[in-house]
Amino acid sequence: METLYDAFAEAVTDSPGLDFLGTTPSCGGAVLTFGEAGAAVDALSAAYRDRGWGAGHRVALNLGSQPLHFLHFLALNRLGASIVPMNPDHRVAEIRYQIGHARADLVVATAPAAAIVASALNGDGPPVVVEDRLADDLPPAPPAPRGNPSGAGAEALILYTSGTSGAPKGCVLTNDYVLTVGRWYRDLGGLFTMGRGTERILNPLPAFHMNCGVTSVTTAILTRNCLILPDRFHATTWWRDVAESGATAIHYLGIMPPALLKQPAGPWDRAHRVRFGLGAGCDPTLHAAFEDRFGFALVEVWGMTETGRFLANNFEPRQLDTRAFGRQSGEMEAMVADDDGRPVPDGTPGELLVRCAGPDPRRGFFNCYLDNPDATAEAWRGGWFHTGDVVRRDATGMLYFVDRRKDMIRRSGENISASEVEAVLAAHPSVARVAVLAVPDEMRDEEVMACIVPAPGHAPGPDTAAALVAHALAELAYYKAPGWIAFRDELPVTSTNKIQKNRIFAGQADPRSDAVDCRPLKKRKLAS
């Protein structure tokens, strides 16, 4: 077994009648068995093969979080092609960047998404095909620009992560990575112990994220279990969907526990079969209350797209009132280090470094950052992957999250590069200088704040703030737009004219106190 499709084909052969992919009842509740999914994958792969698509090609998929995405992934994986999952919320600048940087040879999308992508590319890019017209409109493939790779080491997909300086990086992920992640989740044990053909994993995270798009689907294939997909998280209908879908496990983001605890108590709270939740960022002050009310364990984990495998707090006692996320285990080694890469004493905060045990520290990790060998080498300096997260370890080996070193905002589970938002805002004529940073948010963990020095002739205030948000929404996904805008006469800088973000609000109790609240303007723009 060398590819994701190989694993899927085995499941189709030995478990054709077991459920594999479905949607929540509020999204229609349709379910495909492994056998039915296999037939759909056969038809899709034949359509691609007939037009010459296969090994060496990259196909961008903008199909949202629905079973269709995974059927195309499997069909293309069968042929040796690589996929580039797209975020349906992305807008012009993000679409152009991702398609161009990945050098995608084709875009396959839903009809609404295809219209947006085609408009953004404006004829300067690969062909864009509407998914339900694939049989009629799929063009002949160009010569494969990347040779004829195959097997475990072949590129399976490229996932884009928010960079800390500049544009997002493309993580090149191989078939070996994909299968390693699924086996890791399958074999962790403890509170994550899974039955074979008996579990239903409900995951509200998007298919363009590693969590759902790789970890969950691969584990479901390897264990002959079912992955259930909502369109996204809805607090008001969550427990009914959980119960009626028969979910035995859920995945969560930090935003979900407080949102669900704020819902009025009702009969659906415990009318479910969930045994565990997997996620990160649950507020320690709410953790025990959530488990008491809803009757199952929320198991905190730590992981990144680059690492594949994740660390998990999946054995008791779990210390629910802390930011504990587990100990190193198996072949996933972890070290807490100082700025020179040397281990620090227990109890001392330092950067989390991870690697695979054995002679190849990179085995099972991402292959590289696409076309960025310097960033790849920097991340792997000293033979350890440098995560950028500050953690501490206690005498028992338990690891606790402390902070992030990166210039990153973590909003509702989405990593947002401050520099990416700064670049877009700086292009607006009303902006002379800008600094983007994270501020606390009671529901979303963190929110985006933009500190603006207005250009001459532009007055600070709500009207300018609204214009800046509208500009950001036209270029970026809605969640990256500033939720708060603070106007300043100047921003503190170093002797080399670099903005000192840590001094902008020095001595100010709440950075939001004199800022314009733009959160009501951050509306998710749905395709139409």
**pLDDT tens-digit series, residues 394-427:** 999 999 998 777 677 888 878 787 878 988 898 8
Q: Do the bridges between strand 128-130 and strand 106-109 make them parallel or antiparallel, or are there none, so unpaired?
A: parallel
Mean of pLDDT over the chain: 93
pLDDT for the residue numbered 231: 92
Give the Cα-Cα-Cα angle 444, 366, 143 (nearest 5 degrees): 115
Q: What gap in Å lies between CA 197 and CA 400, rounded to an integer?
A: 34
Percent of all residues in the chain with a pLDDT value above 70, rounded to a whole number: 97
Q: Domain with 134 in it: what CATH number? A: 3.40.50.12780
- Mean per-residue pLDDT, 372-379: 96
- pLDDT tens-digit readout, 251-289: 998 889 988 998 999 999 999 999 999 999 898 989 999
Task: Compute and round to an integer the Cα radius of gyration of the chain.
Answer: 23
Tokens at 368, concatenated? 């590289």
Residue 355 shares a structural domain with residue 430: no
Q: Do the bridges between strand 19-23 and strand 226-229 make them parallel or antiparallel, or are there none, so unpaired?
A: parallel
pLDDT at 392 over 60: yes
Residue 242 shares a structural domain with residue 323: yes
- pLDDT tens-digit readout, 307-355: 999 999 999 999 999 999 999 999 999 999 998 999 999 999 999 999 9
Tokens at 451, concatenated? 């500190």
- Mean per-residue pLDDT, 175-182: 98
Q: Domain with 442 in it: what CATH number? A: 3.30.300.30
Q: Which domain range does residue 198 map to?
A: 4-391
Strands (E), 77-168: 82-85, 106-109, 128-130, 155-161
pLDDT at 20 over 50: yes
Residue 363 shares a structural domain with residue 276: yes
pLDDT at 363 over 80: yes
- CA torsion angle for 433, 439, 444, 448 (degrees, to 10)? 0
pLDDT for the residue numbered 528: 43
Query: How many C-beta atoms surround the C-beta of residue 76 within 10 A?
Result: 27
Closest of 57, 51, 49, 50 to residue 83, by C-alpha: 57
**149: pLDDT confidence band, cut at 50, 70 and 90?**
confident
Count of the separate structural domains present in the chain: 2
Residues comprising the chain, all counted: 528
- pLDDT tens-digit readout, 204-257: 999 999 999 999 999 999 999 999 999 989 999 999 999 999 999 999 988 899
- Does residue 397 sit within a domain? no
Residue 255 shares a structural domain with residue 314: yes
- Mean per-residue pLDDT, 93-99: 94
Q: Which residues pair with 105 in a beta bridge?
A: none
pLDDT at 195 over 90: yes
Closest of 230, 229, 290 to residue 256, by C-alpha: 290
Residue 188 shares a structural domain with residue 238: yes
Whether residue 383 contacts residue 355, with contact meaning beta carbons closer than 8 Å, is answered with: yes
pLDDT at 497 over 70: no
Residue 53 shares a structural domain with residue 194: yes
Closest of 372, 517, 483, 481 to residue 94, by C-alpha: 481
Name the more confident of 349 and 366: 366
